[in-house]
Structure 1
């Protein structure tokens, strides 16, 4: 009996030693590969990570407008909401917090285990979808719905450029309410994709909708700002209100700050092309994707109580980005 117990203990000890040796070997192998592999393109002639321009923030902040203008600049292409940030961010931050130290989890264990695969996934996707993007061309990645994964993507692609796009949270919530009503452009888009669920929460529970969306906006902006602060690559903060007030000046600042060469006449051309007045009348207004194209519309859309709720919840956002020009 005693002999069997001793054999069992020795067997378990041997397995433990063997497992620890294997783990140490894997770590050493990864370190050798890390030291010997410099960051760069996904493959010969592939996309340059430095030419990826991410737009992070939130939906309904003007990201489509900004992204469309940039995509029309010569030498630029547009990756419209790939959701790659959501793919990794949702899994890492929301679904698997308890497994971040688990080496068997695809995004778990030491950073070197997964940061390279994330990098290669993005670059290989770019190369496959945009085969002509090399040769100094830029890819504008409009990713408001992927902001949750911004910290991971910017760690994986530290050379890339980042735009943090912010908007007055009261206007963001007002615009989201319009999209969540019966008959809105969002509901029509759902139906076109075969989704039958009605998106009418703003009609059924408007106050609850306002509160939940305000909380979500604060969380997304905290994540985006954290990623922005940690990013050592080229980056620029853009306020929607400044973009509306002087679009050409804002575009000049974006390109200058990011270090991307752009012809003045070309910038003026894309600004004019995408100006509010050049959007067909039937495509803009209440219930459409292009709703107002102006700042401060929340005063007409939110009740005084709803506005107070948004201001209370999003006070950190308002204080950070709008303290100097706060309008009571």
Structure 2
């Protein structure tokens, strides 16, 4: 550990190599714990359901299937559902951390820029105008809606001399979200068939999704994660303030655009596959920040793993509490996330970024 002399003549403590090494070890340790938890909840997701399957049978179905009933349930239903839950949880967790970093808003989550509402509005248009009823069709309409909503929000937030700022982006996102929600409600209330189809998608669920859905969104998620990783160093500099970031050579507009593209890809793909699932990005971003600190190079992967653990755990809980039926994961997360949201609002010291 090294020391320096402050203006008052007293020595000021500077972090030494021992402190940095200990912090790095804590971060790695927490990532390892999350990986272990993800394995455990993944096994629970495959084994738990309306038909409980022993772990031994799960192992046999995964590595030496013989075509039995348990093998079919595990390989065609629960394994794709678990894989999709991991993908969507990672996407929403990383997107939530990016949203809070770019907007400087501790209560931000992926829906703040209108991405979720844009996806929902385009799904309704697809159902009402083109008669789309399959999840395959929902994916592409939802992704297109997420992209269009993000672009509109960014253009509105860029009006004026200052260009896009956290405040203008957040305000534009709220305005666009309310507009899209109103348009969506107008369509679904005018057509009963559209309302019935939209209601199933809008609740937010992993049920009924096969392996093809996970395969369709994987390319978008991979590109989004690459952009998020590239965006992490720039977010660290933006946390010092835009003027300081510019002084250090950071291209602020490029950093904002990269983050917006990552959030659009991650949230759009997740919402397209499972519907709008709230609170994942909000909860796990704060949890990750508590353990890793503000460094986005560590915060983003931690938030992604925590998002996958939370989403799968909520899905398993939904199957247990309503057996032999199930409670949709969007409902379970709302029951968990709403009290957490109130807690964040009341604990201002915790949510300060």
Say which structure, 1 or 2, has more relative contact order (CA 8 Å, 6+ apart): 2
Give the TM-score of the pair, scaled to structure 2: 0.24
Higher-Rg structure is 1
Give the TM-score of the pair, scaled to structure 1: 0.25
Higher helix share: 2
